[in-house]
Structure 1
Amino acid sequence: MSSFAFTESIRVGQIGVGRWGRNVLRNLAASESAEVVAVADPLDPALAQASRIAPTARTARSATVVLEDESIEAVVVATETPLHVELAAAALEAGKHVFVEKPLAQTTSQAERLVRLAQERDRRLMVGHLLRYHPAFQHVEQLVKDGVLGEIQYLYSVRANLGVVRSQENAFDSLAPHDLAIARSLLGDAVAVTATGRAILQTGIEDVVFATVEYHGGAIAHLHASWLDPHKVRRTTVVGDVQMAVIDDQEPSEKVRVYDRGVDPSEARFGDVAGALAVRSGDIAVPQIPAAEPLRVEVEEFLSAIREHRAPLTDGVDGLEVVRVLEAARQSLAERRRVEIER
């Protein structure tokens, strides 16, 4: 295993410069904490794009240029999901820290392998659960942590759009990891999944999925993921027993609204129907959310975790738990039943 004495900037190599990978590369190249040494992608247009973003980096079609460079301290894997495990494992075995775009892997056993490798080699393993670095979601996470919303009863999310249609994973695998990562941060680990969906455009690949995920303590999350929808929707609603919050990433400015609304079962008003519960409808607060690019925050977290020798916010275990739910959802879709998550 290689041992690195960190230079002023962490030397980074990236594998994959596709639609999202070039955004990651842009933020790496702009960071004062990173030096992009090499970039690999099998497509020449992608490499040309990489050269414009990081002009001092070497480019190559083969990932071995990144994996075999002993001076590279950290590797970013931004490829299609089926390649994540092979490339991340090779980088960890070479003694490098690894950032993997979501999802960490396709199966629980694959994700467990990566977590184990990172632990054995004392390397940082981070997953690109981007919403955990979004200022709007971070604000609501803090509200939950501070008890402002009370005990969380349930949440639901809609992540729908027309495209991008993928051929190697269904809409839930592609879109839901973001919302599952948020649900885990608010509700803990999942215990069961019930999913239903339809494969409309391609046989065996669901274009729309509705899933209900159960958590320890009784809370639930209902997730709607679709790439075959007339509207682009990116909305999450969190319902507590004191207040409720809605995060709408499509809103240009007012991305978070906090509703002072709820039901008081101990309070009945004069003239109410016998047994009726009193509904409280208070103010709606629109907090000011600081402007920050989530991807920039995410990249800096990876670099800081390496430098500070600590687990990143969205570490390998976080990625593993999301993969557990994804795998259980696929089983539920195939068998049309509720699937418990085993650990």
Structure 2
Amino acid sequence: MTATIGMAVIGAGYWGPNLIRNAMATDAIDVRWLCDLDLERARSVLGRYSTVTATDSYDAVLDDPAVHAVAIATPAASHFPLAMAALDAGKHVLVEKPLTASLDDGRKLVQAAQDRGLVLMCDHTYCYTSAVQELRRLVQGGGLGEIQFVDSVRINLGLVQPDVNVLWDLAPHDLAILDYLMPAGVSVVAVAAHGADPIGHGLACVGYLTLRLSTGAMAHVHVNWLSPIKIRTMVVGGSCRTVVWDDMNPSQRLSVYDRGVDRLDPEDLGPDDRKQMRISYRSGDMVAPALREQEALRVMMTEFASSILEGRTPATDGSAGIRVMEVLEAAERSLLTGGTFVDMEVVR
């Protein structure tokens, strides 16, 4: 393969135009096709002077030897057949979240990509933001110490989805970020989920996920379609420092606090003190790291192209998508049992 990746984008709806725009701005990518069942919509997205060809024939895309990869931005139910056909045609694949509509189909895709030596990547866009990249550096570099808790809130007014509950709609973002942040060897071992449908929609519009991690730490995710205000925050608490990510605050997305609770060594306590609290409160500085402003989708497209050219696994590969879907599957089982914890081994 040359140093340029020939690409086709599949789907000209909500997300496809964003993929087209960022792929065309990525030096290592040569966008050749935009494919959609609505040919006029595809032409409208491209405009009159684009060098990209619009088509409603997926077969024409897959038959083009100059196409090395496809980026799929279609409804979730179509992800599996489209991605599998591309892998069968020898194309690398980028898929919008969720990877597939079912866990079994997702696993089949991952295995097919591995068998064929092809890249299968999930478009977990938030993982490529400057804030999450810096947060990952802090977590995996040990700057926070041992992770003690994670609290994430993703709430807004709408859009209420007709076919999936709020957990499947919003929580994949937070779960993908959590999976991306955690050091190697740290995993989710159990999941409890609670949901409510106060408007009679028929599906949960408010949801809470509680995740037990293999280290003994706990993560909590709150998602909601009914909030009159939009909140996007994540707090990652460590034994040394705590980071607050506020995605709605462009001037200070990350705040690193040298504040927390320390456990005292019993040997340092007097006989009377040992019957009282064995903790001390630490109150240090707050630092707001300078972040480079960059479009996450552009970074993601660069990662996709680089992983193909370098023959390596992308940062958010198909297996990352499977791990997110496994947590959501466990959450569904927990909802059916009244919110009890479901061991992840049940769904793996």
| Shorter-chain TM-score range | over 0.9
Q: Which residue of 1 aligns with 2:61?
A: 66
1:262 to partner: Cα distance:
1.3
Does the 8 Å contact 2:303/2:315 carry over to 1? Answer: yes
Task: With the length of structure 1 as denominator, give the TM-score of the two structures.
Answer: 0.92
Q: Which residue of 2 aligns with 1:110?
A: 105
Question: Which secondary structure does the structure 2 equivalent of 1:232 belong to?
Answer: strand
Q: Which runs of 5+ in 2 are unaligned?
A: none
Q: Structure 2 counterpart of 1:172, which letter?
A: L
Q: Which residue of 2 aligns with 1:220?
A: 218
Question: Which secondary structure does the structure 2 equivalent of 1:259 belong to?
Answer: strand
Q: Note closer, same or farther for the CA distance 1:199–1:45 as it changes in structure 2 (3 Å cut).
A: farther
1:201 to partner: Cα distance:
4.9
Q: Which residue of 2 aligns with 1:316?
A: 318
Q: Which residue of 1 aligns with 2:12?
A: 17
1:153 to partner: Cα distance:
0.9
1:44 to partner: Cα distance:
4.8
Task: With the length of structure 2 as denominator, give the TM-score of the two structures.
Answer: 0.91
Q: Among 241, 253, 256, which residue is 1:255 paired with? A: 253
Between the aligned partners of 2:116 and 2:289, the Cα distance in structure 1 is: 43
1:7 to partner: Cα distance:
3.2
> Which range is displaced more, 48-57 or 165-174?
48-57
Matched, 1:211 2:206: no
Q: Which whole-Å deviations, capped at 9, do the CAs of 1:144-177 have from their partners, x for residues lacking one?
A: 1221111001101111111222222221112111
Q: Structure 2 counterpart of 1:87, which letter?
A: L
1:45 to partner: Cα distance:
5.6
Q: Note closer, same or farther for the CA distance 1:330–1:96 as it changes in structure 2 (3 Å cut).
A: same
Does the 8 Å contact 1:14/1:75 carry over to 2? Answer: yes
Does the 8 Å contact 1:159/1:233 carry over to 2? Answer: yes
Q: Which whole-Å deviations, capped at 9, do the CAs of 1:229-272 have from their partners, x for residues lacking one?
A: 11111111000111100011110211000011111221789998
Q: Which residue of 2 aligns with 1:93?
A: 88
1:38 to partner: Cα distance:
1.0
Q: Structure 2 counterpart of 1:108, which letter?
A: L
Does the 8 Å contact 2:135/2:181 carry over to 1? Answer: no
Q: Note closer, same or farther for the CA distance 1:244–1:269 as it changes in structure 2 (3 Å cut).
A: farther
1:141 to partner: Cα distance:
1.0
Q: Which residue of 2 aligns with 1:42?
A: 37
Q: Which residue of 2 aligns with 1:340?
A: 343
Between the aligned partners of 2:62 and 2:155, the Cα distance in structure 1 is: 36
CA RMSD in angstroms comes to 2.1
Question: Which secondary structure does the structure 1 equivalent of 2:222 belong to?
Answer: strand
Q: Note closer, same or farther for the CA distance 1:35–1:247 as it changes in structure 2 (3 Å cut).
A: same
Does the 8 Å contact 2:205/2:224 carry over to 1? Answer: yes
Q: Which residue of 2 aligns with 1:245?
A: 243
1:229-244 equivalences in 2 (<5 Å): 229-244=227-242
Q: Structure 1 counterpart of 2:308, which letter?
A: I
Does the 8 Å contact 1:305/1:312 carry over to 2? Answer: yes
Q: Which residue of 2 aligns with 1:172?
A: 167
Q: Which whole-Å deviations, capped at 9, do the CAs of 1:114-158 have from their partners, x for residues lacking one?
A: 100000111000001112211111111111122111100110111
Matched, 1:153 2:156: no
1:106 to partner: Cα distance:
2.6
How many residues get paired?
Answer: 338
Q: Which residue of 2 aligns with 1:325?
A: 327
Q: Note closer, same or farther for the CA distance 1:308–1:222 as it changes in structure 2 (3 Å cut).
A: same
Q: Note closer, same or farther for the CA distance 1:200–1:87 as it changes in structure 2 (3 Å cut).
A: farther
1:318 to partner: Cα distance:
0.9
Does the 8 Å contact 1:26/1:53 carry over to 2? Answer: no
Q: Which runs of 5+ in 1 are unaligned?
A: 1-5
Identity of aligned residues (%): 41
> Which range is displaced more, 224-233 or 198-207?
198-207
Q: Structure 1 counterpart of 2:243, which letter?
A: A
Between the aligned partners of 2:238 and 2:160, the Cα distance in structure 1 is: 34
Between the aligned partners of 1:91 and 1:165, the Cα distance in structure 2 is: 32
1:8 to partner: Cα distance:
4.0
Does the 8 Å contact 2:194/2:335 carry over to 1? Answer: yes
> Which range is displaced more, 29-38 or 151-160?
29-38
> Which range is displaced more, 184-193 or 232-241?
184-193
